[in-house]
Amino acid sequence: MKFKVLRNFIFHSKIVNKGTIIDLPLNSFSESLETRNIIERIEVKKQIVKKPEINLKKYQRISKSLLIEIMQNRGMYIKKTNTKQGLINILKRSLEAQGFLHGLYGKYTCLEES
Amino acid sequence: MAYTGNIHVWKKVKNKILILRHWGGVGDIINTRMIFYDLKKNFPNFEITYAIPENLKSLVIDHPYIDKIIDFSKANLDEYGFYGNISTACGEYESKRVPYVDKHRSDIWANSFGLELTRHEADIRFSSQELKWADKWWKSHSLNHEIVVGLSPISAHPCKNLQKDKVQELIYWLNLYGFRVIVFHNDITDFKMCLKPRLTLREWMVLVNKCDFIITVATSTFCLANALHKPTIAIFGNEDLEIYGKYFPEMFPIQRHRKRNPEWQHCPCWQGLNCKIKKGVYPPPCLQSITVKEILDNVKKLVEKYNI
């Protein structure tokens, strides 16, 4: 993940200057309390904001039971009484959420420009 | 003490009991529901009146052991043979004992006027109209075949809140696992991938009742989930979950507690403002140290235990 730093801050005991483009894994923001506090105080601009389309056509073509199996293998919790379309909607949300978490698109709350 | 006034007045008031509370909050009023079963059991032929702020009356309107609910400002004490004022009982009791408070608030209130509770149930009942409204709401948001999580991350006081970035991360993870998230709070505009309904108190109550499980900080939703015995993940900072959750076996506690985490020897301190680790930090370090992963681990345990 690349971010443009809008003002000087300290990250892992190193000074990062304003204007620098830094490449950080998103996971590092949420893991330590120390890091989180630093991140909350800085203002960074995210480079990638485009939201890609999620292609769900392949899921439309498979059976409901196979879809349930795929979702359960993803570690998802679902009610089997749901319709196939209902399950596809849940899967779509899940993939979108994954996109947000991995920083593929959208803005991550704590990193929004203020 | 014998009544020494007018005998005709005494005849009218002798079988009337008033319980009085000048203020909320919402969670406390829900917790006060626990005292009325034992009150009625001890005084079955007495008329029991509960006087509270007008805007909170709907929280207890369905209670089977309260005969009358009135606005506290209209309560005339002369009309009752006995009255118990529970407005300040908790504050007085807890402030003398922090950080080793040993009683649930329902017991403190009951004990303050000489009652011992034998059963800690809130006896919440919804009308068929309320249940129908909830079903309709559920259907209109296509929730009937989804696993729905009620999330209450924000309290009236900032020292109890989960940090906003953590809340958003948690919502993303819950969606990733296939859950649908409803966030309960008066003013939530900045969270993504969740439902954010604006509700009356009764609507909030009946929707919390419909959720499969609850994730909450120390706020009224915790008290409501306790009252409804909803499987709940409770995330607390400075108030002791062992006391708050004393009558809540369905609860999964997440808290830095001196009994389980020796490195957090001062926690819970019961004092948001005077944290011994770092003063004036909201949320306090103990609450800040709780991770999204910890919450998600508890979600998995809860789902397995309750076969959701």
- State pLDDT tens for residues A23-32: 665 455 444 4
d(CA A105, CA B151): 24
The reported pLDDT for the residue numbered A96 is 86
Task: Identify whether residues A54 and A105 lie together within a single domain.
Answer: yes
Partner-chain contact A30 B178, CB within 8 Å: no
Sign of CA dihedral B235, B237, B242, B245: negative
Task: Identify whether residues A72 and A91 lie together within a single domain.
Answer: yes
Q: Is the pLDDT of residue B210 over 90?
A: yes
The reported pLDDT for the residue numbered B142 is 93
Task: Identify whether residues A38 and A64 lie together within a single domain.
Answer: no
How many domains, chain A? 2
More confident residue, A98 or B215: B215
Task: Identify whether residues A70 and A43 lie together within a single domain.
Answer: no
* Those residues with Cβ within 8 angstroms of residue B295's Cβ, 6 or more apart along the chain or in another chain: B170, B215, B233, B235, B254
CATH of the domain at A55: 1.10.720
Q: Please give the class, per CATH, of domain B128-305.
A: alpha beta
Summarize the confidence of residues B99-104 as an average pLDDT: 93
The reported pLDDT for the residue numbered A7 is 59
Task: Identify whether residues A62 and A105 lie together within a single domain.
Answer: yes
Residues 47-66, chain A: which have Cβ within 8 Å of B? none
Summarize the confidence of residues B277-303 as an average pLDDT: 88
Task: Identify whether residues A80 and A105 lie together within a single domain.
Answer: yes
- What would the two tokens of residue A110 be? 């704590």
Q: Is the pLDDT of residue B3 over 70?
A: no
Q: Is the pLDDT of residue A98 over 90?
A: no
Q: Is A44 in the B-facing interface, judged by CB distances under 8 Å?
A: no
* Those residues with Cβ within 8 angstroms of residue B51's Cβ, 6 or more apart along the chain or in another chain: B18, B19, B20, B21, B69, B70, B71, B72, B74, B75
User: What ipTM did this prediction achieve?
Assistant: 0.83
Task: Identify whether residues A13 and A66 lie together within a single domain.
Answer: no
- For B157, the 3-state DSSP assignment is coil
Q: Which of A77, A80, A107, A110 to mutate to test the interface with B (most CBs of B within 10 A)?
A: A77
Residues 277-296, chain B: which have Cβ within 8 Å of A? 285, 288-289, 291-292
Task: Identify whether residues A73 and A103 lie together within a single domain.
Answer: yes
**Closest Cα in chain B, distance from residue A93 (Å):** 6
Residues 68-97, chain A: which have Cβ within 8 Å of B? 71, 75-79, 81-83, 86, 89-91, 93-94, 96-97
Task: Identify whether residues A58 and A99 lie together within a single domain.
Answer: yes
Which of the four pLDDT bands, split at 50, 70 and 90, describes residue B200?
very high
**Would you say the CATH fold of B128-305 matches that of B7-112?**
yes
Partner-chain contact A40 B175, CB within 8 Å: no
Contacting residues of B for A81, CB less than 8 Å apart: 145
Which residue type is seen at B260? R
| Domain region containing A60 | 49-114
Domain layout of chain B by residue ranges: 7-112, 128-305
Question: With pLDDT > 70 as the criterion, what percentage of chain B qualifies?
Answer: 97
Which residue type is seen at B53? P
Given A30, A79, A109, which is nearest B146 (Cβ)?
Answer: A79
Task: Identify whether residues A24 and A75 lie together within a single domain.
Answer: no
Task: Identify whether residues A63 and A94 lie together within a single domain.
Answer: yes
Q: Is the pLDDT of residue A68 over 90?
A: yes
Partner-chain contact B308 A40, CB within 8 Å: no
What digits encode the pLDDT tens for the residues B41-65? 999 999 999 999 999 999 999 999 9
d(CA B276, CA B71): 40
Q: Assess if CATH 3.90.1530 describes domain B7-112.
A: no
∠ Cα B240 B228 B171 (to 5°): 70
Task: Identify whether residues A59 and A104 lie together within a single domain.
Answer: yes
